[in-house]
Structure 1
Amino acid sequence: MNWYVVYTKPKWEKKVAEQLKNSGIECYCPLITQIRQWSDRKKKVEVPLFNSYVFVQLAESERNSVFQSVGAVRYLFWLGKPAVVRDEEISVIKKWLDTSDCIDVTVGGYQIGDSIQLESGPFMAQKATIQEMTNTHYVLVLESLGCVLKMKIK
């Protein structure tokens, strides 16, 4: 069975994932914890790593069952076909989110636009393109995962 990417209504990722799980569909909505500040308090909230995306694992013949969920809009397509995410890529995301320790990454001698292969950390062996570099963070484009990764330098 393949992993597909379901596009959801804005801010509906967790609701769609919950509905899909209740329907018996294998799904994955990667969440990260962020501190949000309101005028009177700060609070830790879990937000999706990818806005409006939920990953589902099912057979090609069962793809339409996803639309029983109210917030599911459509599948993400790549080159005219539903985008398929490899099992290894889902495992890398899970491993990265499960890693609680801080990974010290340094970027040196690279220019914007350079293609690199990550040598350590949860995205090890992934190819990336450097999109932006500053003193506080850098932005990498992970084409195989179809995402942009912004990493803060501590």
Structure 2
Amino acid sequence: MPWYVIRTKPQHEVKSAQFLEKLGVEVFCPVITEVRQWSDRKKKVTVPLFKSYVFANLLEKDRNMVFQAPGVLSFLNWLQKPAIAKDEEIDAIKSWLKNDRLDNIKVNRLQPGDEVEIKSGKLANKKAVIKEVGNKKLKLILTDLGWTLTANIQDLV
């Protein structure tokens, strides 16, 4: 079954995903923990990794059931077809969220605009374009999805 990309109203990602799970749909709503600063305190909050998007593993014939969930707007389309995320891409996002260490990585003066090929792991032989290179983070554009991902590089050798 393919992973469809579903567009939601802003700040409805988690609620929509929970409702879809109750309907029996396999849903993936990646979340991260951020530290937010208020005038009197700091607080850790859980926020969606992709604002206004969730992933649903569905058969083509079951696609309309997602509209029963509050906050679901539509399917994301790519070239007039519903956007589909590959299993390897979903697995890679899950792996990154678990903070798995990246092994056998060598960084040599990477520049924005450089095209890189991932040599091993779940996204082996996939190409990405470097958007930004920072001291501790590297932003990549996965050309297949058109999304920007940030990888921590502080622990890389």
Deviations 1:39-75 (A, max 9, x none): 1111111111111100001110110100001100000
- Partner in structure 1 of residue 17 of structure 2: 17
Instruction: Judge conservation of contact 2:5–2:76 (CA < 8 Å) in 1.
Output: yes
Amino acid aligned to 1:47: V
- Please name the residue that 1:41 is paired with: 41
Which region of structure 1 is more displaced relative to structure 2, 36-45 or 62-71? 36-45
Distance of 2:140 and 2:31 partners within structure 1: 20
Alignment of 1:45-56 (within 5 A): 45-56=45-56
Give the residue type in structure 2 aligned to 1:36: R
Q: CA RMSD in A?
A: 2.3
Match of 1:138 in 2: 138
Do the aligned residues in 1 keep the contact of 2:91 with 2:122 (CA within 8 Å)? no
Residue identity matched to 2:147: C
Residues 95-104 or 131-140, more deviating: 95-104
* Structure-2 change in CA distance of 1:121 and 1:88 (3 Å): closer
- Misfit runs of 4+, over 6 Å: 102-106
TM-score of the pair, normalised by structure 2: 0.85
Cα distance in 2, alignment partners of residues 125 and 39 from structure 1: 47
The equivalences for 1:22-101 within 5 A come to 22-99=22-99
The runs of 5 or more residues in structure 2 that have no matched partner are none
SS in 1 for 2:89: helix
Cα shift readout 1:6-59 (whole Å, capped 9, x = no counterpart): 000011101110111111111110011111111111111111111110000111
Gap change, CA 1:137 and 1:101, over 3 Å in 2: closer
> Partner letter of residue 29 of structure 1?
C
Aligned residues with identical type, % of pairs? 48
Q: Using the alignment, how far apart are the partners of 1:29 and 1:102 within structure 2?
A: 23
Number of matched pairs: 154
Secondary structure at the counterpart of residue 14 of structure 2: helix
Deviations 1:78-137 (A, max 9, x none): 111001111111111111112355889664233321110134677554321112234454
Specify whether residues 101 and 108 from structure 1 end up closer, same or farther in structure 2 by C-alpha distance, changes over 3 A only.
Answer: closer
Unaligned runs of 5+ in 1: none
Is the 8 Å Cα contact of residues 141 and 148 (structure 1) preserved in structure 2?
yes
Q: What's the secondary structure of 1:27's corresponding residue?
A: strand
